[in-house]
A and B are shown apart, each in its own frame.
Chain A
Amino acid sequence: MYNTMEVKPVQTVDTVSMNQSNSDGMQSMSFEQVGSVFDFERGSPTIERELEEFNSMSSGEREQIDTKLDEKQGLDLDDLGSEEKSAFDDVINDDFEEGTQDEEIEQEDERGELEDYFASAEFVIWITELVLVWGTNFYLKKNNLDSIGIEAFKKTQGEQKFLVKSWAKVLRKNNAKVSPEMELVMALGSTYVMKMKSIVKEQKIRSKEKELEIREKKIKKKEGKVVNIDKHQKTEPKTVKKEVKKESKKKPEKVDVNDRSILFDTDNIEEIEEEGIGDLITQ
């Protein structure tokens, strides 16, 4: 371990002796050698000027500056400003603006590149998904389990973006340029995949609508039966009453004179009286 209190002669990475070169051309060192870059006392025109000023001050003035520094936890940049400072500021400001513009351009470029790769990426992802679905279903069938659809591999937007990025990286890394024929196949694939997707969706909606219609019909049929039964139950007593009424109307017509029970039928007494007892006797 490096002894912190030990005063070592200053060494640089360049001057220090290095160990043997490895098969990959890299040299080996210990940290003690690499860390030599921290051993220097730093110097610059600003530091030199500041130290000169400081050393030319009396001890009282030095104390004042130190307390001022301690209060501020550091020097005020304006107090220690140099001619170089303004030049630095200009460079930094320009650099900053250029930098932000560069970043924006980089981001736009990246977006553009991703768009270029999107169609082919989607095609490749779709093929992969199909293979995965087929493979998974093969395994599931072997284990007597229910098979799955391509929906099982539904992705979030983030996942989709990640996959496209990865595809773009692979192409970029290998400097791969997709041939026009392949591009055509991919474009056809991607567009027809979209169409197929929409057709499948429509078909699903249609089949669901049909199912709903069938169900509604079934429900209506069932409801209809219930209604008929209820009507029948309600009308039955009415017909009985009507029949009773009819019977009651018809009864006088079928009066049998020999039937003595009529004599005890108080309801018919009046009618008989109206028709005339004399007539009955003559008959």
Chain B
Amino acid sequence: MDGKRGSNCIGIIGTNNTGKTVVSEEIIKRFNAKRDRLSKLGKKYPSNYHKLVVFDVQNRYTKYMREGDISIMLDDEEWEDKVLALRDSLFVADDFKVLVGTDKISKKLLRIFGYRMEYGLDLVFIVWHPRLIPPRIAQFIDKYYLFRANGNDKEYADRINGETDEIIKCKHAIEKHCSKFSELEYGEQYPNFPFIYYDTNLNKSIKVNFNNKK
């Protein structure tokens, strides 16, 4: 087996203008770099391999899309089928709650989570409040990018799958760091906005872009 079995299921949480979309763009760039690297190797793949699927309300990802990539529309009732058909691909859903609507998730969506390892799907979900992560999905998300966000300790602990103490520590750390900046100063951090990377499997939290100049 050439590839490594696995999947990244990432939840990005942060209020408006904290850098969620910027970081998700970085993820897409990284994925595109991988696609470039693989194409240089000269291997042939079926057309459902290495695709980017986006739910992009703000049209921020269009510039990174390539031939065969899929942009999901809000009224697309078969989007889960499209994602399920892909292999070694990246799915990014900006404002994920808008796409799924209620907390009750469909069987098809659950199937995406079930097959993500087998199909090599990297899933990125962006929400602006921890409460907007449907509880059934929270248990599948294994990595979080925590930006400054509203929500109390309990909401974080409830909706983030991991050790409660560590999660709350992350929440307080990002809040404390962001409180140093005025809104203008925070904007100047572009594109290296501070956030905390929390890996639920390892129960390890890492400060990212915390060393930027104030």
Co-assembled chains A and B: yes
Interface residues of A (CB under 8 A from B): 1-8, 13-14, 18-19, 22, 24, 26-31, 34-35, 37-48, 50-51, 54-55, 62, 65-66, 69-70, 72-77, 84, 88-89, 91-93, 95-96, 99-100, 103, 106, 169, 173
CB–CB B169/A24 < 8 A? yes
- In-complex Cβ contact of B47 among A22, A51, A66 (8 A): A66
- In-complex Cβ contact of B81 among A2, A47, A74, A84 (8 A): A74
CB–CB B29/A2 < 8 A? yes
Chain A residues with Cβ below 8 Å from B121 are: 42
B:46-91 near A, CB below 8 Å: 46-48, 68, 70, 81-88, 90
Assembled-state Cα–Cα distance A72/B170 (Å): 43
- Chain B contact residues, majority secondary structure: mixed
Known: A29-B206, A43-B2, A50-B87. A7 touches B36 (CB 8 A): yes
- In-complex Cβ contact of A47 among B3, B23, B36, B173 (8 A): B3
Assembled-state Cα–Cα distance A247/B104 (Å): 105
What 8 A-B pairs have minimum CB-CB distances, sorted nearest first?
A: A74-B85, A42-B120, A43-B3, A41-B3, A42-B88, A43-B1, A75-B85, A66-B47
Chain B residues with Cβ below 8 Å from A74 are: 48, 81-86
Chain B residues with Cβ below 8 Å from A31 are: 23, 26, 192, 208-209
Count of residues in B whose CB is under 8 Å from the partner chain: 73
Nearest chain A CB to B150 CB, angstrom units: 15
A sample of 12 more A-B contacts (CB under 8 A), given A41-B88, A70-B47, is: A4-B30, A7-B37, A26-B206, A27-B207, A42-B4, A43-B5, A44-B117, A44-B119, A47-B87, A51-B46, A54-B45, A66-B46
Considering the complex, give the chain A residue whose CB is closest to the CB of B155: A169
**B31 located at the interface, meaning its Cβ lies under 8 Å from any Cβ of chain A in the complex:** yes
Known: A48-B1, A66-B46, A96-B107. A4 touches B37 (CB 8 A): no
Chain B 1-43 per-residue mask, 1 if CB under 8 angstroms from chain A, else 0:
1111111100000000000000100110111111011101000
Considering the complex, give the chain B residue whose CB is closest to the CB of A37: B8
Interface residues of B (CB under 8 A from A): 1-8, 23, 26-27, 29-34, 36-38, 40, 44-48, 68, 70, 81-88, 90, 103-104, 107, 110-111, 114-115, 117-122, 135-136, 143, 152-154, 169-170, 173, 191-192, 196-197, 199, 202, 204-211
CB–CB B119/A37 < 8 A? no
CB–CB A72/B85 < 8 A? yes
Assembled-state Cα–Cα distance A113/B173 (Å): 31
Known: A13-B199, A40-B6. A46 touches B118 (CB 8 A): yes
CB–CB B82/A29 < 8 A? no
Nearest chain B CB to A8 CB, angstrom units: 7
Chain A residues with Cβ below 8 Å from B5 are: 42-44
Instruction: Find the residue from B7, B110, B173, B206 having the highest chain A CB count within 10 A.
Output: B206
Chain A residues with Cβ below 8 Å from B8 are: 37-38
Assembled-state Cα–Cα distance A65/B6 (Å): 26
Chain A residues with Cβ below 8 Å from B33 are: 2-8, 39
Chain A residues with Cβ below 8 Å from B38 are: 41
- In-complex Cβ contact of B84 among A48, A54, A77 (8 A): A77
Chain A residues with Cβ below 8 Å from B90 are: 38
Assembled-state Cα–Cα distance A3/B86 (Å): 26
Nearest chain B CB to A89 CB, angstrom units: 8
Assembled-state Cα–Cα distance A66/B51 (Å): 14
CB–CB A95/B6 < 8 A? no
CB–CB B211/A4 < 8 A? no
Considering the complex, give the chain A residue whose CB is closest to the CB of B191: A1
CB–CB A55/B44 < 8 A? yes
CB–CB A24/B173 < 8 A? yes
CB–CB A28/B88 < 8 A? no
Nearest chain B CB to A167 CB, angstrom units: 13
CB–CB A92/B107 < 8 A? yes
Nearest chain B CB to A10 CB, angstrom units: 9
Assembled-state Cα–Cα distance A50/B33 (Å): 23
Considering the complex, give the chain A residue whose CB is closest to the CB of B122: A38
- In-complex Cβ contact of B114 among A5, A54, A92 (8 A): A92
